[in-house]
Amino acid sequence: MKGLGWHVIAELSGVDPKVLDDEQLLIKIMVEAAKKAGLTVLATKTHKFSPQGVSAVVIVSESHLFIHTWPEFGYAALDVFSCKDEESTWTAYNEIVKKLRPRGVQVIMIKRGMLQRQELPVPPLGQEGYQIEQLQR
């Protein structure tokens, strides 16, 4: 089915806490990954939490790369979303993971904007029959 974008969502564990708490290093890794994937970097933004942790986003013309870290757990939540093509999305993801060197990874890829799917009505929140699908661990 044809889609508008590819969204890689990853759970990274066992990452060096010093790396996960270094906002400048994280943004550098993500910008380099975007460029290696042929994505066009438009802007970057980071936020350093106290006492530790970082949120960092690289906005690309094709969408975004985002990471949120919990150094105390060696954990990072990573999103790579690109409307360019599937290969560039995976390239950016692989470059980031290669630099972060996690001991464990859980990853899924979602095709976004599926143009050929059937749209089903969604009941309003709170009404019987409303369901949210959850990924099983």
Any catalytic annotation for residue 47? no
Any catalytic annotation for residue 63? yes
Q: Where are the domains of the chain?
A: 5-112
Any catalytic annotation for residue 55? no
pLDDT score of 137 = 40
List the catalytic residue out of 63, 64, 82, 88: 63
Distance of CA 63 to the CA centre of its chain: 11
Its CATH class, for the domain covering 5-112, is: alpha beta
pLDDT score of 112 = 85
Q: Give the Cα separation of 62 and 89 in Å (integer).
A: 10
**Ranges of the chain whose pLDDT falls below 50:** 130, 134-137
pLDDT score of 56 = 98
Q: Any idea how long the chain is?
A: 137
List the catalytic residue out of 7, 64, 82, 83: 83
pLDDT score of 113 = 81
pLDDT score of 77 = 98
Token digits of residue 87: 């290969």
Which of 2, 6, 9, 16 is closest to 101 using CA atoms?
16
Write out pLDDT tens, residues 30-59.
999 999 999 999 999 999 999 999 999 999
pLDDT score of 120 = 62
Q: Give the Cα separation of 35 and 41 in Å (integer).
A: 7
pLDDT score of 73 = 98
